[in-house]
Amino acid sequence: MMLEKGIEEKTFYLNLGPQHPATHGVLRVVLEMDGEFIANSEPIIGYGHRAHEKMAELRTYQQYLPNMGRVDYLHALAYNQCYCMAVEKLTGIQVPERAEFIRVITSELNRISSHLLWFGAYLLDLGAFTPFLYCFDDREHILDLLDRITGSRLTYCFYRFGGVPVDVDEEFIAGTRAFISRLRSRWNDYDTLVTKNVIFINRTRDVGIMTPEQALKYGVTGPNLRGSGIPYDIRKSEPFSVYPLFDFEIPLGERGDVLDRYVVRLQEMEQSLRIIEQALDKLPEGPIMAEKVPKRLKPPEGEVYTAVETARGEFGIYLVSKGDVKPYRLKLRVPCFSNLSVMPELFQDVMVADAVAILGSLDLVIPDIDR
């Protein structure tokens, strides 16, 4: 950069990532600093690109199913569900009601485990270690429950076209009910330890304010959007599976700051508990798989779009079939890409110490962006 004689450049550049623990993955953010304040910022992505969309064109519909658990590995079951729904919509497969209930129960458990991981890791970013231990203690109970029926603890590949491969038994149901009681007993601990903590409040209140206009401009979805006061949740706005059968609320923020985004996620966990509890109470008898699902799917020509509400927002799949055993084209609409895009505006003119608080509050999974 050429400077006029006698004029000094006052800004300098600082790399946040790609190996920084607060970036939660290999994300690089180039910060242009004016002293302690951020003048400009540019996120640089692609370090974890794995060509998931291209892989879909090279594999059969069944072979591609495990890929979904590697996109957003923290809420893999929602991604599983969306892909299965797209293929089922394309082929006209009807999923039995009991299987839909099992999908909802397991997906909501996975949502809670994702929020708990974010909760613990985020407080670690801000310098608090104890909440991390509490959250992972609770999360371990979910992993044990899901491990028992799915065989996995993280990158789940449980759902199948037409239903689920394994039924839930009384031991799983009893364990899930026990977990619901356990987590509800922890809310007071979390409130005392974090929500009412004056240090945490001062680090998060009125920091990283995202206005409703900003959120809509960048296509932000999920808790980040609802933290700005917009009540958009696909489970309510565009209901799928058996979600219309359950009574639950959409937590909303008022100021759109970091604290609101935290509170929304905390309240969402309670709403997930409500959904799981109702699903267990109403769990119908019947088959868990549709009849006569071909072992080798060959959907008719056509295209579909399906979307679900994940722990981070709207995940959608646009799927095109040319009548072959492999998809002709698959496009993933991931929530974290849009949620990341608003970050440069939130970073503008804030102190570098607040950048970590803002970045963590967006709950980004970087492989979801890079895919």
Q: What does pLDDT average to in each consecutive run of 10 residues of the chain (371 residues)? A: 54 86 85 92 92 95 94 95 96 96 97 96 92 94 95 93 95 96 94 94 94 95 96 94 96 95 96 97 95 91 96 96 95 95 94 92 92 86
**Cα–chain-centroid distance for residue 175?**
24
- Beta-strand relationship, 37-44 and 12-16: unpaired
Cα 125 to Cα 121: distance, rounded to the nearest angstrom: 6
pLDDT of residue 259: 96
pLDDT of residue 8: 57
C-alpha pair distances (Å), 205 with each of 97, 126, 173, 261, 358: 44, 14, 39, 10, 11
pLDDT of residue 45: 92
pLDDT of residue 371: 86
pLDDT of residue 191: 93
pLDDT of residue 1: 43
C-alpha pair distances (Å), 187 with each of 45, 225, 227, 238: 36, 23, 19, 30
Which tokens sit at 256?
Answer: 């759109």
pLDDT of residue 19: 82
Count of Cβ atoms closer than 10 Å to residue 153 Cβ? 13
C-alpha pair distances (Å), 10 with each of 58, 220, 348: 51, 33, 17
Cα 347 to Cα 37: distance, rounded to the nearest angstrom: 9
- Judge whether 274 and 235 are in contact, CB under 8 Å: no
Residue 14's φ and ψ, nearest 5 degrees, are: -135, 130
pLDDT of residue 23: 80
The one-character DSSP state at 85 is: H
Alpha-carbon dihedral sign for residues 200, 202, 208, 210: positive
pTM here is 0.94
Residue 24: which residues within 8 A CB-CB, separation 6 or more?
121, 360, 364, 365, 366
pLDDT of residue 3: 41
Cα 214 to Cα 207: distance, rounded to the nearest angstrom: 15
Cα 302 to Cα 304: distance, rounded to the nearest angstrom: 7
Cα 340 to Cα 369: distance, rounded to the nearest angstrom: 8
C-alpha pair distances (Å), 202 with each of 179, 205, 348: 32, 6, 19
Domains of the chain, with CATH numbers? 55-370 (1.10.645.10)
Cα 88 to Cα 66: distance, rounded to the nearest angstrom: 16
